[in-house]
Structure 1
């Protein structure tokens, strides 16, 4: 009988696990939030991932449960574990991806380099932090933010009043996270795969380019990141994977500062946008690697297939028509580009696909990837 992996969440990350699952002979099953989602081809159930009975019913006949996102509540995760389901990553590691205050506290215990930060419960706390850090800082909601959501740069404590008010109405209570405004030269990402038996594989550190809080491009490996910088990034990734007992893929988003330090920004315990280049540019894609890892199978090589890979997200899509209507034109005009679409309707700012080009000349590779992605935009 084929090994059975249940993925909670029907988005594009689950969609991109389908092809490697087929190649590995894995029976991939998806619990989608609604009909017609990106991973509809593998959706064996539709339901609310926040409902324990729905998730338990879905997980009844699989060997391991993993995730397309980190939003499954802790009580649902605990119910799975109590029922004897293998959950990877487990509830405790996932807490650090679900709550940024929990993450910051644990990374501090592990001695990981990170921005100066504090938990602030009200305007007075936030103003004190601002006064001590040059009058500007980054405020984040601890739970639920992604792609620039739940993040603000503030210069006055009153700019977070609505978030403090929302916390006061939330039965869970809590505080906001405030961080120093880091003077960074670029953003990097380090991916690590880890299986329950402890085997680890490290991918090359990559450079990510953000626009409007959303990842727009990834260059792999990161230019000017060989030697010491790459070693430091790898050590940080390995230390977090082991320190938090992560199983599956881990992405560590990093700031490279003007004085050449690396600081941990955020974490993701699943395949991540910064690793989409691996589909076409690495010996083992992050999606295949994640399946191997959560099933505790031997991990694959992470070496690049070419000198450079550039991944460009297709953000928004065409103003009229569908993504598929532009697909043939992109293929004809840019035959070296690999185009991946997510089965999503176009919408401003929405990730509806990505393009990857690999090759030996970075300027040429980047040009082709950007040009191919632009075919899908108006």
Structure 2
């Protein structure tokens, strides 16, 4: 009898788990937030993941429950575990990804490299941090931020008064305190993905370079240029340590800063397949989505080698002003036959990730050019 994976969340990550699930002979079912979700092809139920009864009913008969995002409340996760459901990653690991202050506390306790940071409970705390860090810093909400949301660069303690007014112990809010971080002087942003199964085996993909625009990942180059040796070794060791020390199961993505003084610092964690790993669908022997399914089911992990020297992924952000990605596929396919095009089935909206394209090859300039050219077909 086929193993059954239940995925909470109906976004594009759940959607991209479907093809490898079919290939592995798995049954995959999705609890989606709405009828028109990106993962509607596998959405067997639509319901509120904040409701423990809804989630428990969905979990019945599943061999494992995993996630499209990290937002399922801890009480709901605890209810699953208490009911004997196999949950990967675990609630304890997810808690670190759900709250940036908890993340900084745990990573600092482990001794991993992070930007200088402080907990802020009042404007006076922020002013003190600004005074210590040259009058500028980054302030983040502890909960709920993503793709540049919940992040501000500030030089005035009054710049986040609205956030201080929203502080609450309510898990659905922005958190009980804010996070201040030094404004890191970095050369570029990197990301290191690994996968870990419950029995402890870990595999890693090459470290990649992530190019951001307006706080959102726009392009990814795999492997990161000029990273072989010290940089790649440091990035992989950091990610393996995070996975081991936090007992992360499934795919883990560690977003990193490569600083101008040659340090590598942890920026964020994602305990699921991640945008910076989408290149692996077409560029790696085992994609992050297949690997995540293998890992959460504690199956042997796949090889993470690459097909070509370079892979470049370009996000389609916003999409066409008129029509859909599907409308423009024939022309894009004809003009860029070597590009792999992924449509998330989402309505276009400014800044929204509605798809991505990937190209591979041995000449980086050519691979970048072809990926960008393919993506341009879906933008106005």
Normalising by structure 1, we get a TM-score of: 0.99
Residue of structure 2 equivalent to 1:318: 320
SS in structure 2 opposite 1:118?
strand
Partners in 2 of 1:228 and 1:185 — Cα distance?
A: 15
Cα deviation for residue 21 of structure 1 reads 0.2
What pairs up with 1:72-151 in 2 under 5 angstroms?
72-151=72-151
Q: Does 1:66 align with 2:62?
A: no
What pairs up with 1:276-295 in 2 under 5 angstroms?
276-295=278-297
Residue of structure 2 equivalent to 1:336: 338
SS in structure 2 opposite 1:301?
coil
Where does structure 2 lack aligned partners over 5 or more consecutive residues?
none
Could you list the per-position Cα deviations for residues 84-137 of structure 1 after superposition, in whole angstroms to 9, with x for gaps in the alignment? 000000100000110000000000011000100000001000000000001000
Cα deviation for residue 150 of structure 1 reads 0.3
From 356, 360, 363, give the equivalent of 1:361: 363
Partners in 2 of 1:333 and 1:56 — Cα distance?
A: 48
Partners in 1 of 2:114 and 2:226 — Cα distance?
A: 21
Aligned length: 378
Partners in 2 of 1:227 and 1:258 — Cα distance?
A: 17
Q: Does 1:174 align with 2:179?
A: no
SS in structure 2 opposite 1:340?
strand
Partners in 2 of 1:169 and 1:218 — Cα distance?
A: 36
Cα deviation for residue 170 of structure 1 reads 5.0
Cα deviation for residue 168 of structure 1 reads 5.1
Runs of 4+, deviation exceeding 3 Å:
168-173
Could you list the per-position Cα deviations for residues 200-254 of structure 1 after superposition, in whole angstroms to 9, with x for gaps in the alignment? 0011000000000000000000000001111010000000000100000000000
Residue of structure 2 equivalent to 1:56: 56
SS in structure 2 opposite 1:367?
helix
What pairs up with 1:142-221 in 2 under 5 angstroms?
142-167=142-167, 170=170, 174-221=176-223
Where does structure 1 lack aligned partners over 5 or more consecutive residues?
none
Residue of structure 1 equivalent to 2:35: 35
Partners in 1 of 2:324 and 2:375 — Cα distance?
A: 14
Partners in 2 of 1:82 and 1:168 — Cα distance?
A: 27
Q: Which moved more, 1:319-328 or 1:283-292?
A: 319-328
Cα deviation for residue 323 of structure 1 reads 1.3
Residue of structure 1 equivalent to 2:244: 242
Could you list the per-position Cα deviations for residues 24-55 of structure 1 after superposition, in whole angstroms to 9, with x for gaps in the alignment? 00000000001021111111110000000000
Residue of structure 2 equivalent to 1:231: 233
Partners in 2 of 1:151 and 1:308 — Cα distance?
A: 32
Could you list the per-position Cα deviations for residues 244-266 of structure 1 after superposition, in whole angstroms to 9, with x for gaps in the alignment? 00000000000000011100000
SS in structure 1 opposite 2:167?
helix
Cα deviation for residue 169 of structure 1 reads 8.7
Partners in 2 of 1:213 and 1:50 — Cα distance?
A: 27
